[in-house]
Amino acid sequence: MDVTKTAVFLRVEGALVAQGACFAAAYFAANRAGFAERALKLGQVAVTAPFYSLLGQSDRVLANRLAYLPLRGMSEDRVAELAEEYFDGVLRERVLHGGTELLREARRTGHRVVLICDGLREIVEPLVAHLRFVDDYVCNRLEYRDGHATGKLLEPVVGGHDSAAWVRRYAAEHRIDLLRSVVYAAHGPDLLLLSAVGKPCAVNPDFTLRRAARQADWPILDYDV
Amino acid sequence: MSDPGSISIRDAFAGRHVLLTGASGFVGKVWLAMMLERAPEIGRIHVLLRSKSLLSARDRFEKIVNTSPVFGPLHERMGARLSQYIAEKVEVLEGELGASDLLLDVDSRRRLQRQLDLVVHCAGLVDFNPDLRKALASNVDGTLHVADFVEGCDHAALLHISTCYVAGKRHGHIEESLLPEYAPSARDFDAERELRDARAAAARICAQHESREHAAKTRAEIEALVRKRRSGDRAKLITTLTNRRLREELKQALIDEGMQRARRLGWPNTYTYTKSLAESLLQRRGNRVRLSVLRPSIVESAIEYPFPGWNESFNGSAPLAYVMGSWFRMIPARPDAPFDVIPVDMVCKAMSIAGAALLRDRCAPVYHIGTSDRHRCSVGRAAELIVLAHRRHYRQSGQSTGERVLKSRWDSVLVEPDAAFAVQRNRALVGGAREVIDLLPDKVQLKLRRLSDRLDRADKKLEQIEAMIELYLPFMYESFHVFECKAIGRTPAHEPEFRFEPEVIDWRRYWLEVHIPGLRRWAFPLIEGRKPERYRPRHPVRFAPVVVSNAEVGCGAPADLPPDVIRVAAHPGVSEA
């Protein structure tokens, strides 16, 4: 008998945590080894931040690439340690209760829980361990050469319109019925991702997504960010 | 299926008699405990210890077994039975490596020379810059006396523990070989002649410093000083100060002489110089001694035995790690150079393998026991991980907000030795500030007394850091060593618990979760002059002098052993008082 499963795909940024890639990059930059390096890289983050915001609505892939550039030259050891620190000191307290409840409910109703995250693997791993009920996740990975970050992200870069294609591939590999599956997302560029499933839901949507969700008659969830 | 070339450590040591020197040291203790726990088939380990202060060798051994955390796993596993077990497996001999006959009585010496299968010579002075006289006595004479003893044995082999850094100031790939009459920067080096010259130099310095003229001159200087500062004649104070200064000057002169000789010949310090001298002199003995030299690199915290993080060495990376956790940030180092550290339990496993290979006649002449060849960690990475470990500690367990917020982010960085804020420049700044205060009127100076005291303390600390950096510079900046580490792999251990596999070390986990927390717990207290934790067993091992008959001495015991020989044995079943 051909048994298909269902899944809940949740875009982490906006639906589960309020902090995005730029915030994480600023934390990493502020905690580099040398004081001069810290100042320089923080400056770089400050310069890229407006571009990140602007590109966030059109090209999230490029925005993410820009956001993680200041990590160039940082050792893999430091990235791992700072990521753990960032999760413990910043992110853990800011995981949105509403998002966690959505995931808990998804698990209770027998859905496979999958996270789609712009964040780095080093940050997402402790988040996933903290949530405990995540089956799978996809996130961004830094490129390292000789133990140091090059500042580039490895392909495929998560965040853009490719997320929808990724969801379809994932569904095919895991025999998931997309028509009965759910996507929770918060930003305009996630429209294609939301359209890929039968049960899209806009969570804390930005202006673009809210308008689109209303037009498409998708449910909208708002909880405190 | 096991490797056909592998060697069973338990089988090789079964029923064998081993003499161990240096059992009170960092490596010796771990090896002793490991063999007692993991190779119970061993015949007997004869531990040569000297008496110290008021403690006999026997009392010292008892104290070591009952207080050192190294023996914790053995205590936990065996409980009250440990006394009995140690009585069966360990014989403590009072001896002295500085004496040509090791201060063993004739009968014990003869008995041992018949019984012994292997001598593991771990003892040595591991300070980088000890006084030359002591270094020669311990590292050279002690080794030669042990070699003499082994030459007199019926069939014993010698496993001599040295150091990779006998290579001195050479760069690149260092092969596992015993070079005859080796000195890194000298041609036509003659180790025998060098030893003679070094001894003569030490004797000359001693004669100079112990002469009446020198004592009288020093006394006169001290008298003048005391009179200038205090009124009246204080004969006792003058005598005390004179003696102290004479002792300190003599020690410093001997330290300087050792370092000068070492550096002139191409070694970074007196320790490596005397260790290399001993190797050259051992090699001269040719086939008279069946010998393997085991050269560990920088021996550091245990990765698993006796437990992760065990360390009591403050000559490895401990002082460096300690400084990097302070407010001083500028560490001169070459980031790409290999930082060859090896956990102490891996060294002990390698010792067991090399010992078994010697017992089975499958030994190599030299074993390098390090990581730079097989699983390298660079100076840059090690420094980064030290910094991150401090960061984690201060963030999670900082005593004050300053530590949690500021010190946790006060990361040390690697710099060139002549960098803007290098230690010498920091000292110059502090010295300058001190001079400015000295130029001020007395009234102002009085008001600034607290500041000038602080400056004095800072200068003293910086002076210590400067001295430490000078000692470590050859390892972290001036040399680029890759120590070949192949020989030990030719006879892999059959038993998994004795396998030497540096490739399994996850450096990040090792530095962050094992080594630095281990140093913080066991070695930093030693640097700070505090006593580290001691182990308190529920059933301490108690020794009592036991009169043993020849029959009780065990296999290989000579028939002519006098019946009244007193052998140290554990008294079983004594529970904690």
ipTM of the complex in this document: 0.88
CB contact under 8 A, B411 and A85: no
A67-82: average pLDDT: 94
Identify the pLDDT of residue B548. 39
Section A122-142 average pLDDT: 93
Q: How many domains does chain B have?
A: 2
Question: So what's the pLDDT on residue A14?
Answer: 87
Please tell me whether residues B284 and B251 are part of one structural domain. Answer: no
Q: Which residues of A touch B508 (CB under 8 A)?
A: 77, 80
Helix (H, G, I), strand (E, B) or coil at B173: strand
Residue B413 forms contact with A (CB below 8 Å): yes
Percent helix, strand and coil across chain A, each to the nearest 5: 55, 20, 25
pLDDT value of position B441: 86
A29: domain CATH number is: 3.40.50.1000
Same-domain check for residues B127 and B210 = no
Q: Does B381 touch chain A (CB under 8 A)?
A: yes
CB of A136 less than 8 A from some CB of B: no
* B139 and B33 in a common domain: yes
Residue B576: per-residue pLDDT = 31
B511, closest residue in chain A (CA to CA): A77
**Residue A33 contacts B, CB cutoff 8 Å:** yes
The answer to the question of residue A101 being in a domain is yes
Statement to judge: residues B97 and B196 lie in one domain? no
**Segments forming the whole domain that contains residue B209:** 186-265
- Judge if B202 and B250 occupy the same domain: yes
Residue-level pLDDT at B451: 87
DSSP for B286-300, written as a single string: GGGS-EEEEEE-EEE
Q: What is the pLDDT of residue A68?
A: 92
Do residues B44 and B165 share a domain?
A: yes
Residue B211: CB atoms within 10 A of its CB come to 11
Strands B172-174 and B118-121: unpaired
Residue B379 CB-density burial (10 A; 0-12 exposed, 13-18 middle, 19+ buried): buried
d(CA B63, CA B69): 11
Phi and psi at residue A221, to the nearest 5°: -115, 130
Residues B151 and B277 in one domain: yes
Prior bond of B492 cis (ω within 30°): no
**B73 shares its domain with B116:** yes
The CATH number of residue B58's host domain is 3.40.50.720
Q: Does B508 touch chain A (CB under 8 A)?
A: yes
Cα Rg of chain B (Å, integer): 26
Nearest-angstrom CA–CA distance, B340 and B85: 37
Say if A213 falls within a structural domain: yes
**Residue B404 placed within a domain:** no
Residue B574 DSSP code: P
Same domain, B139 and B221: no
pLDDT at position B440: 86
Which helix (DSSP H) or strand (DSSP E) does residue A78 occupy?
helix A76-86
CA dist., res. B512 & res. B518, Å (int): 10
Domain total in chain A: 1
The model's pTM is 0.87
Return averaged pLDDT per consecutive 10 residues of chain B, 577 residues in all: 81 97 96 96 95 89 94 93 93 93 92 96 92 95 96 96 93 92 89 95 93 88 78 76 91 95 94 96 90 96 96 86 89 91 97 97 95 94 96 92 90 84 81 87 83 88 87 84 95 96 96 96 90 88 55 37 35 31
**Which among A74, A78, A79, A144 is the top mutation candidate for probing chain B, defined by the most B β-carbons within 10 Å of its own β-carbon?**
A78
Buried b (16+ CB within 10 A) or exposed e, B136-161: bbbbbbbbbbbbebbeebeebbbbbb
Q: Does B330 touch chain A (CB under 8 A)?
A: no
A119 pLDDT more than 50: yes
At residue B10, the pLDDT reads 96
Q: Residue A57 falls within a domain, yes or no?
A: yes
Instruction: Give, rounded to a whole angstrom, the gap between the first and last alpha carbons of chain B.
Output: 49
Q: Residue B492 and residue B9: Cα distance in Å, rounded?
A: 10
Q: Are A128 and A138 in contact (CB under 8 A)?
A: no
Pinpoint the alpha helices (H) of B22-172. Answer: 26-38, 57-67, 72-78, 82-89, 106-115, 132-135, 142-151
Where in the sequence is the domain holding A133, given as residue range(s)? Answer: 7-221
Q: Are B343 and B271 in contact (CB under 8 A)?
A: no
| Residue B168 and residue B77 in one domain | yes
Which has more confidence, B125 or A58?
Answer: B125
Token pair recorded at residue B330: 């500028």
Mutate to test the interface with B, among A37, A41, A77, A82 (most CBs of B within 10 A): A77
- Claim to verify: residue B49 and residue B144 sit in the same structural domain: yes
**Which residue among B409, B412, B508 sits closest to A31, beta carbon to beta carbon?**
B409
A2: in domain: no
**DSSP alpha helices (H): ranges in A2-34?**
12-15, 21-30
Q: What does the pLDDT read at residue B351?
A: 98
pLDDT tens digits, A183-197: 999 988 889 899 999
Measured CA angle at A149 (ends A146, A152), to 5 deg: 125
A33 chain-B contacts, CB cut-off 8 A? 384, 387, 411-413
Together in a domain, B143 and B194:
no
Whether B380 is covered by a domain: the verdict is: no
